[in-house]
Amino acid sequence: MSKKVLYTVEYPVRCSPSILYEFLTNPAALQEWFADKVDERDGIYSFSWNDNTEKAQLVDKEHDKFIRFRWTYMQKDEYFEFRIERSEVTNQTILIIKDFADKKDIKDQTQLWDYQVKDLFYRLGS
């Protein structure tokens, strides 16, 4: 099995960090754009698409700043993270997604994130 590498994608967002944070952390809000169904119990999030369910452990979070998950099937040092930053120049909110993938899959994974984030922006009215 090849070692996965960390990659980062960034998206400017037209909303406040607190509204964006809610869409990244609240199971009901995640269900609007990230998965068909999302449940959380004791820091374990269940994400369902069609008949497939994957579980992710909440690793760390800081209110209005970031949330980090680790899929239960991934290596201990691999995760995916939603981070919220502000551009010092434009004061615009920036969504930064960090994820791990095989080098050959990064382009496809980035396109998947583009698709997901497009749905998020639609839900945000951004």
Residue 95 lies in domain: 5-25+61-124
In-domain check, residue 105: yes
Give Cα 21 distance to the centre of its chain: 10
In-domain check, residue 71: yes
Burial tier of 52 (Cβ tally within 10 Å: 0-12, 13-18, 19+): exposed
What band does 21 get if pLDDT is binned at 50, 70 and 90?
A: very high
- The CATH number that applies at residue 77 is 3.30.530.20
Confidence check: pLDDT of 89 > 90: no
Token pair belonging to 111: 């396109």
In-domain check, residue 47: no
Instruction: Provide the domain count of the chain.
Output: 1
Report the DSSP beta bridge partners of residue 6: 100
The pTM (predicted TM-score) of the whole model is: 0.92
**Radius of gyration in angstroms for the set of CA atoms belonging to the chain, rounded to a whole number:** 14
* Tens of pLDDT, residues 51-86: 899 999 999 999 999 999 999 998 889 999 999 999
Q: What is d(CA 65, CA 83) in angstroms, rounded to the nearest whole number? A: 6
